[in-house]
Structure 1
Amino acid sequence: MITTIALLKAREGLSRDEFVDYYENRHVPLILGLAPSPALYTRNYLPEIGARGFPADFDVITHMKFADEGTRGAWLALVLAEGSGVAEDEARFLDRSRTRSWTVEEHSGSR
């Protein structure tokens, strides 16, 4: 499995509820309408800024898993294709200049 983690920041002026609502009810359906769902596609939202207990320059951790690098690459090609509308949609609810993502090495279980 290939695991990708993205740290995303809400666009200035959106409340946490507006941000979560837009991501879940507008953006996720757009993405899933363009490409097959990854093996795992979760969004983990941080609490409101005042309730976090620590400084963070992101508002959500998006976690995706793909069967292999070829599957991930094909998915990205569909989602990021010119004319897909993804960049324009992200600009409605994200501060895209602060997006960070990595393909990570994941371990699970304990020894």
Structure 2
Amino acid sequence: MFKIVVFGKRRSGMSREELIRAYENDHLNLADRLIGDGTIPPMLQYRRNYICHDDPLNIGSIEFDVVTEAVFSDRASFEANRSGLSEPKIARALMEDMQKFLDLSDLRYLVVEEFSGGGGAAT
């Protein structure tokens, strides 16, 4: 398994609800079209986690609004996905779409290694 975690901030002046609506509707529709027409291979998992900034259980602060998890079977699958997205017309469409809801000046991508279980968690 190969996993990328992306930390993003919503575009200035945009509410949390607008961010969620744009990401969950417009952006996912674009991703589904690119996968459906074979431009990019599908991911094993694609999760969006929207930060609940005002929750009293939060400890500390974070400057991001969404944490996205993209899981691929292996690094080669990730590279195939990125290769499809790097085609100029596709890259432009993707960037134009993401600019509608994300501040692209501080987008962060991290490769992570996932471990599960322990601590009383169901595996």
Q: 1:7 — aligned with what?
A: 7
Query: Deviating runs (4+, > 4 A) in structure 1?
Result: none
List alignment gaps of at least 5 residues for structure 2: 35-39
Counterpart of 1:62 (choices 68, 71, 75) is 68
Distance of 1:40 and 1:51 partners within structure 2: 26
Q: Normalising by the residue count of structure 2, what TM-score does the alignment of the two structures yield?
A: 0.82
Distance of 2:106 and 2:66 partners within structure 1: 12
Q: 2:48 — aligned with what?
A: 43
Amino acid at match of 1:95: D
SS at match of 2:110: strand
Q: 2:79 — aligned with what?
A: 73
Percent of residue pairs identical: 34
Q: Aligned residue pairs: how many?
A: 110
Q: Larger deviation: 5-14 or 73-82?
A: 73-82
Q: 1:100 — aligned with what?
A: 108
Distance of 1:80 and 1:87 partners within structure 2: 11
Based on CA coordinates, which of the two structures has the bigger radius of gyration? Answer: 2
CA RMSD of aligned residues (A): 1.7
Distance of 2:24 and 2:14 partners within structure 1: 14
Q: Normalising by the residue count of structure 1, what TM-score does the alignment of the two structures yield?
A: 0.90
Shift of 1:108: 1.3
